[in-house]
Structure 1
């Protein structure tokens, strides 16, 4: 099992990696199955052997993306132990790292919600709610033990999650700050949102 902080190159199956590139470049509706097949080095029938439709490619991509995000967040919380502050820092760091190192997958997940079939749309939203509840729960625990003084725990938790997700729109590997520097800075921002009071 890989450490939740470790990010190498994405290990998406070739058809899904090709679909990701095409969706980022042209959007779901602007992408043809023929284009995805060409990027994957497959014939159209060969692509359909693995994924029977363009919709199945989008769903497969987003399902693997959310499984990866949720796994990393769950492992971060387990490693953090029982302290609400440590758990808050861990889930925030996990969200930040994911949206820094899996920017393109996060981008497609945000921009192509409208393109999902209704049945899978419900499943995907369920994954997002599960992730948000991890943040909600650690903020509520921090308020309960006096570590966080925000009068609006759920609103603060949503603001923290939104800040973390937003990193995917501007983070650059070759930017002026290192990943660890950005994480440290944004952890401070997140603690400010929940009004952290050292005890």
Structure 2
């Protein structure tokens, strides 16, 4: 039987895993397209354990058992249960950022198109990748240094939306008096999709994204250039 070794007793050769890049191949201009997510076995087992029992309730021994590896093997690759959570969170954030950057680049110079694309990208990610995206709620269980690193990555999404909102106000196409708060509200709305969306529900991922684009444009007070009417998602 393998004994679970205390962190202070682990051999020095065992290391904490630094979070690598994301789990997906960079989608490039095809940022709306999703394939089934294929995680490394230990991370897949950790994700299922955290989904079933939460981070605190999840057992490092159960994660190793799901894959059929020894605890020293798990410790070698990820250092601890904390290392597994960090790798999952950082990998997921890498992927949603990559897709959103491509969406922004595709949108061109108009703030309304930029907002529509970025909101669509984030919402599609949260719906298609809800199995892993829900873990954002576990950031409270990250150690201080890991939490700050993750928040710094997540802040890039917030900055992207704040810049779009500010540019839209400056250009006269968004009427909100509170672009920073509006951008924050839009991001929170999109991220929450991972907590409630179900593929067997009444809306497809695309339909949810279309509705959220319309809600986001309403939130920033979008003014349609030609008619004066708010633009609606198509």
> Does residue 170 of the first structure (1) align with residue 191 of the second (2)?
no
Per the alignment, residue 77 of structure 2 pairs with: 50
Cα distance in 1 for partners of 2:125, 2:109 equals 23
Cα distance in 2 for partners of 1:174, 1:120 equals 35
Cα distance in 2 for partners of 1:91, 1:41 equals 40
Which aligned pairs between 1:1-199 and structure 2 lie closer than 5 A?
A: 1-2=26-27, 3-110=30-137, 112-199=138-225
Deviating beyond 3 angstroms after TM superposition, the runs of 4 or more aligned structure 1 residues are none
Cα distance in 1 for partners of 2:157, 2:208 equals 22
Conserved in 1, the CA contact under 8 Å of 2:112 and 2:173?
A: yes
Cα offset, 1:4, TM superposition: 1.5
Deviations along 1:14-34, whole A, 9 cap, x unmatched?
111111111111011111111
Conserved in 1, the CA contact under 8 Å of 2:169 and 2:176?
A: yes
Cα distance in 1 for partners of 2:134, 2:210 equals 23
TM-score normalized with structure 2 length:
0.81
Cα offset, 1:45, TM superposition: 2.3
Q: CA-atom RMSD, angstroms? A: 1.2
Structure label with greater radius of gyration: 2
Deviations along 1:114-166, whole A, 9 cap, x unmatched?
21111111101101111101110111111111111011101111111111111
Conserved in 1, the CA contact under 8 Å of 2:124 and 2:206?
A: no
Cα offset, 1:43, TM superposition: 2.2
Instruction: Provide the secondary structure at the position in 2 that maps to 1:27.
Output: helix
Cα distance in 1 for partners of 2:150, 2:205 equals 28
Counting matched residue pairs gives 198
Cα distance in 2 for partners of 1:72, 1:54 equals 28
What 5-or-longer segments of structure 1 have no aligned partner? none
Q: Which has the higher helix share?
A: 1
Cα offset, 1:73, TM superposition: 0.8
What 5-or-longer segments of structure 2 have no aligned partner? 1-25, 226-234
Deviations along 1:41-73, whole A, 9 cap, x unmatched?
322222223212111111111110111111111
